[in-house]
Amino acid sequence: MNKKTEFKKIVQLVLASLGILILSGILSSINLSRGNAYIEADNEILTVAPYRNIPLKDILKKNGIKLGKNDLISKDINKPLKPSQIAKITRVTKEEKRINENAPFRITWSRRYNSNLRKTELQKGIEKNTVKLVNDTYRDGILYDREVLNERSTSKEYYRLVLLTPDNKPEKIYDLSKAERKKMVATAYYPGDPLAWGDGTVTFLGQKMQRGIVAVDPKVIPLKTRLFVSGYGYGYAGDTGNLIKGDRVDLGVNNAKEELSWMFRDVVVYILEPSETW
């Protein structure tokens, strides 16, 4: 092989290599221009081919993705989606609803009592209730904004009775505005009262007679019922009496002098609940 032929082959080989290199670059460029694009919606990421002349809204339609009237999308749906771009769809929903907000009972007056069977506290206070009509906006299921459309507040003032433990902690709370009430006539008796049942020291239920024990007509107020009597305080229906019939109660007091102050007084009896203990 002469030198001229050998040189020609070398030139051909170089040109062929250069052609391959150029073609490879062109193909790489084409492939880069056709890189994937993405649509993120409903906790999924969809891979799509970017079409130079096809707007994003048509790509969404082609892939069965619908936009709600309040949904947000990060790209212009009237323009094509470019390679490597991500079009994020945020689902937006609105919900109108009514909510109730109750403020805790706020004490405006209180008084503790230790004289009737156990420690109690009579409380007067205010409870506030607010009703709101709101329009909540959610983005992808998470509360994003709340618009208050209407708001109405009402206040309720009432008394409640709190039963206390020996170390002054609340054990039970009674809303007196919700308790059954009876207008009754009260008399009183005391330990050793000669007019009391037996010797006046032990009740019909076998308990020790003391202030706070209330004799009732079991047909009107069942025995073993917790009570609150206006002007008297906490009581427990633990006794009966021959003269205690109908709307009558006989209140246990400390002595004969106190008995006189309770003779035939009008009272309101609040029936709290049945209980085996006072």
- Other beta carbons within 10 angstroms of residue 221's beta carbon come to 21
> Could you tell me if 50 and 106 lie in one domain?
no
Q: How confident is the model at residue 32, as a pLDDT?
A: 41
Q: pLDDT tens digit string along 109-166?
A: 999 999 999 999 999 999 999 999 999 999 999 999 999 999 999 999 999 999 999 9
Q: What is the DSSP string of 119-161?
A: -EEEEEEEEEEEEEEEEEEEETTEEEEEEEEEEEEEEEEEEEE
CATH at 52: 3.10.20
- 190 close to 254: Cβ distance less than 8 angstroms: yes
Beta-carbon contacts of residue 15 (< 8 Å; ≥ 6 apart):
none
Q: Lowest-confidence range among 76-80, 93-97, 197-201?
A: 197-201
Same structural domain for residues 49 and 106?
A: no
**What is the pLDDT at residue 181?**
97
Pairing of strands 86-90, 37-41: parallel
Of 131, 150, 173, at which residue does a domain stop?
173
Is 143 exposed, middle or buried, given 0-12, 13-18 or 19+ CB atoms closer than 10 A?
Answer: exposed
pLDDT band at 69 (very low <50, low <70, confident <90, very high): very high
Residue 270 confidence class, pLDDT cut points 50, 70, 90? very high
Q: What is the pLDDT of residues 163-182, one digit of tens each?
A: 999 999 999 999 999 999 99
- What CATH number has the domain bearing residue 190? 2.40.40.10
**SS3 for 220?**
coil
At residue 192, does pLDDT exceed 50? yes
Helix (H, G, I), strand (E, B) or coil at 39: strand
State how far the Cα of 113 lies from the Cα of 119, in Å rounded to an integer.
6
The average pLDDT across 60-77 equals 95
Number of domains in the chain: 3
pLDDT band at 240 (very low <50, low <70, confident <90, very high): very high
CA distances in angstroms from 171 to 56, 92, 127, 163, 225, listed in the order given: 66, 48, 20, 5, 17
- The residue out of 173, 195, 230 marking a domain boundary is 173
What is the pLDDT, as a whole number, of residue 71? 97
Q: What is the pLDDT of residue 34?
A: 55
- Final residue before a domain boundary, out of 156, 173, 190: 173
More confident residue, 235 or 22: 235
Give residue 50's pLDDT band: very low, low, confident or very high (50, 70, 90): confident
128 and 44 both lie in a single domain: no
User: What residues does 250 pair with on adjacent strands?
Assistant: 187, 215
| Shared domain check, 215 and 138 | no
153 and 82, same structural domain?
Answer: no
Q: Output 8 or 87, whichever has higher pLDDT.
A: 87
Binned at pLDDT 50, 70 and 90, residue 201 comes out as: confident
* Mean pLDDT across the chain: 90
CB proximity list for 180: less than 8 A, separation 6 or greater: 270, 271
Kindly state the average pLDDT of the residues 209-217. 97
Domain of 243, in residue numbers: 179-274
Residues 65 and 100 reside in one and the same domain: no
Judge whether residue 5 has pLDDT over 80: no
